[in-house]
Amino acid sequence: MKKVIILVVSLSFSVFGQYNGSKFGISASYSYTTSSRLYYFPNAEDPFLRSQSVPFEDIYSYSVELRYRISEAIIAGLNLDYIDQSGYIKPVTALGENGIETLNASDGFMMIPVELSLYYYLPFSAEKFKFYMGGGAGYYIGNHTRKLGSLEVNNVERKTAYGIHVLVGMDYMVLNFLSIRGEMKFRDPEFEVTNEYARNEITYRGREYTISGKEYDAKVNVDGIIFTIGAVYHFSFPGM
């Protein structure tokens, strides 16, 4: 067993040492999230209403990340995503010239995940292929979005949302300082917000309407698997 441990450690240092001594890596990536859900009655007393949701699938987003190599095998990373998804048609009642009518609003959500991770580069990595696994914690800033003609909603209250994540990935070294990164991440962020309409009078398809200014709650759960592809620039500062 002792010989096996020594062999694994030796392989780790020989592989990680081939990273050309770079301490930092900054990446720009394009991500695909399989699914998420929007809940319209998260605080309802009726369990049936509370569980009602609409799905959002095939979510595309962008991210940037800065990684710092703490040791030959351990790397820390700070990741920032931006997700903006819309398209669900939500019926909204409004008072018009002919009485109560139903208007179609476009609903969705916006989320900015800020995640801190630790990565371990696996010892079976090769000179060109660097495999790793990792995990960490995140802070999630989000909002429910709605557009009704030119009218949007304002955020009144946003509850702080935290979460954890795990991931696996691989860097393919194209050049000494450039790699292509593929990654699969599992996370389950959830946040609640309270919104209200910016004003009560709107013009919708050339006609004037009045809508209720009452505040409403919403909850978003982005529970899908994330697949990411991106490019990484590896570098070090002089003297490091």
Q: Dump the DSSP string for 161-228.
A: EEEEEEEEEEEEESSSSEEEEEEEEEE--EEEEEEEES-SEEEETTEEEE-----EEEEEE--SEEEE
Contact 11, 4 (CB under 8 A): no
Q: In this predicted model, what pLDDT tens digit does every residue of 117-126 receive, in sequence order?
A: 999 999 888 8
Compute the residue count for the chain: 240
The pLDDT score that the predictor gives to residue 3 is 44
Q: In this predicted model, what pLDDT tens digit does every residue of 141-199 receive, in sequence order?
A: 999 999 888 788 888 888 889 999 999 999 999 998 999 999 999 998 999 999 988 88
The one-letter amino acid code at 181 reads: R
Among 67, 129, 117, 111, CA closest to 224:
111
For residue 193 the two structure tokens come to 């917000």
CB atoms within 10 A of CB 42: 19
Domains present along the chain, CATH in parentheses: 2-235 (2.40.160.20)
pTM, to two decimals: 0.83
Distance CA 148, CA 237 (A): 50
Locus of tokens 């820390």 = 76
- The two counts, helices (H) then strands (E), for the chain are 2, 13
Q: Is the pLDDT of residue 205 over 90?
A: no
Q: In this predicted model, what pLDDT tens digit does every residue of 49-89 receive, in sequence order?
A: 889 899 999 999 999 999 999 988 899 999 999 999 998 88
